[in-house]
Amino acid sequence: MSHSKSPTGTCLVCGKNFPVRELVAAPLVRDNIAGDIRHEHPEWSPAAAICQTDLARYRAQHVHALLVSEKGELSELEQAVLHSLQTHQTLAADVDSDYEENWSFGERLADRIADFGGSWTFLIIFGLFIVAWIMINSLVLYWRPVDPFPFILLNLLLSCLAAVQAPIIMMSQNRQEAKDRLRARNDYQVNLKAELEIRQLHEKIDHLLSHQWERMIEIQEVQLDLLNELRRPR
């Protein structure tokens, strides 16, 4: 039994032969992208076809032109997104772990101090310390207290603690803001790539539906031929 070869077609752009399932017919290409193809290949017509590789290249060029026209100049983030689309690379990254690898000992210590200073444990311990200080200087050392009322030494300690704690908390907040900026940058890249990928998926689905529709029509035509043969008188 002989097996029929799958039909092939020629890509208008590169001129190479491909199976029909790997080609995209001209009517399935979006008008704006078809305009770019027609600008470089005037012979582009509704009967033409283009391979997936060349179509992906024209899509990337069109997206690049859209971004440039909207913002005037393509940013580094958007260039990375276009490059990932062409090379099929992922953009999602673990920003927290990558950022924490570059921390110094002082930065890690500042974050731990800031975390402890903003906890209930610190508040409870500090409250017990103040109560103990007042009781010692008021009751235990009543005749010769180290810090008599109105507890000037205690106020000095509190002021020094606040003066030291404030810049440490600010350093921790600055690093948190830097981490949030990196996270927002990564989210923007991922969202932009997802939007562009969804557009390409819509075009691919349209191509698959059209191909399946053609196959169904071909199957129905074969079934009609078989029915006509069965109806013929023998």
pLDDT at residue 228, as a whole number? 66
Do 25 and 130 have their domain in common? no
Tell me whether residue 82 is in a domain: no
Do 66 and 26 have their domain in common? yes
Do 13 and 50 have their domain in common? yes
pLDDT at residue 160, as a whole number? 92
Positions of the chain with pLDDT under 50: 1-4, 72-73
Spatial separation of the C-alpha atoms in residues 35 and 37, rounded to whole Å = 5
pLDDT at residue 2, as a whole number? 40
Do 126 and 185 have their domain in common? yes
pLDDT at residue 3, as a whole number? 44
Residue 133 burial (10 A CB sphere; 0-12, 13-18, 19+): middle
C-beta separation of 22 from 51 below 8 A? yes
pLDDT at residue 94, as a whole number? 63
Alpha helix locations (H) across 72-151? Answer: 76-87, 95-100, 105-117, 120-135
pLDDT at residue 213, as a whole number? 73
pLDDT at residue 208, as a whole number? 73
Residues 31-54 have pLDDT tens digits of 888 888 988 898 998 888 999 888
| Final residue of a structural domain among 23, 41, 74 | 74
pLDDT at residue 1, as a whole number? 40
Tell me whether residue 84 is in a domain: no
Do 193 and 100 have their domain in common? yes
Do 70 and 104 have their domain in common? no
pLDDT at residue 130, as a whole number? 92
Question: What residues make up the domain containing 149?
Answer: 93-234
